[in-house]
Structure 1
């Protein structure tokens, strides 16, 4: 049996191949008679360039680089850190969520249309008719197909309306949470600034200081002058003879200067405090105190900078909250479709023709093999008889 034998036999039964044509016509008519399904779509964009995600993210990064004492993890999560959900992802989650779907089903009585009693079954049927997605450019689309084109348009508009309200509500809640957090951080920073300021004031008062850096400069100049005078006195002593009457006087002056030099330079008692009747301080003691003062002054400056930044961001966030500007931009509103989506008459006709043609071809070949009309089909006929007998057992 060859393909040529099969073709020759099929040509003798060409009248049977009228059935695929009739089937295609029938499918075309059915597609024409069946109620049309319409699809409408709404396209929108969620504005991601809000000041909250940029400026508050700057607060987080600034705190991370400046202060390890504050709770950086919570600050990052509240003020736009790296793990915060993108606006478009959040909006998609709301739009395709169960809450919006059930609200839409109950408003338009889709449970009676789908003839489903349980919410889960109704939701499964509803999600077959709705299509929600986002393209590469960030445009979000929401489409719905139904027999009623007006209802399809109203359903899409209602879903977007509910999603907008929910999204804006979440944004306002987040702004309020951010404002409260910024206020708490502002209070903590103000307390820290006040604490360090009081500490520095007590440091100056307890140590009888006026301006430690200036006093250190005065002391260094005095030490330089003492050192010069001491060297001069030593040189005078060497030039004076042993019996010189002025030598003892010179020695006493030198020793007095050396004592004053040691008071300003060298070891000091643990209870040492500069006198309040002099601007001179022990240089070694002052060196240690200057390090402490600079460290605390640096802390104070950093806290003040962060306090200023936090106060500015708090005002910006409060201003954004008061403005309550919409962040949803409708690019294409839902429309009344003027052409059905399905059923497609041409597709139904082609599919019906192909299916009927294959069935007819199989039937013709089967009959030809069974009756032996196709040349060389003895082996095939025996196999068919074996299959028939095994099916009857």
Structure 2
């Protein structure tokens, strides 16, 4: 990937990529003005714009003029990174004008659309001007209320004369859990995300992920002993099950439900097994399923799962993220009670499930993806299932009071 910018002349010649050969370019921006592209960069297919703007200067630059010169017309993929506080009014819509053939968009780590009504309107106009967009990845992207709802008509299938478009095939929304922020889930416009679901989707991911950690054993964040307080900040959190109804409606309503969905990751939302069953009755072509499910009674939960999944003829991979009730959480603390083990398929049960779902090759389950809790993994190779319960990767350390 070529790197372009005002200081490009300072890059050693040996590390620069011939613009005529480059398929992608990354531009670190210290202002909102883009550099002029050389004529030989016309073959570019992908462009990454990364904010290198000092926080002290950001607010001032939002009100200053900017220039966006003509961009290579073949650009089909755009990534916008780290524009924490948004963009000047008019910047996004002008950028869209320069990218008439854009098909894929990645937005990472920012308050998209800013905070003012004018900047939000420009953000909506940006999507309105991208009729060919087929893939959208929103990674740790937050927005003001009504923003996601407003862009919904421009990313889903439409036959309206003004907004006619095929809509998205691939939609990924991911939030990295922020245990230090008690308002984290409240900042997600959860009731609006269903507005982005449309009939053309093949892959849909509403995912919640853990914060990155290194593999360095000396890194204190990788301590294998965790206090009760640290364990509470391990793994992920998910939206309350009452919000799951918005996702159920989007995936089952005749006007919005995807017609050929193959991959569904709904782990951001907590669903009941009844809600999951309702979804799967309309989404029978799934090959990959990741879901956060409320677990209260382990006996009824297992029965529900083993009766729901066989309806999916093409199912290959399953991950269940268990969101435990208080009763279930207390039960799994004592491993001798085998509450966790009795919640998910045993060796014989996974064998039976595999006979019904003949393409199934992987089944995983955990407690909110916590390393301080047991997990279960079953894998099929050469028509044989192997695996089972795995011990917690981190030891829960209980400190006695003196």
* Bigger RCO (CA 8 Å, 6+ sep): 1
| Structure 1 length-normalised TM | 0.17
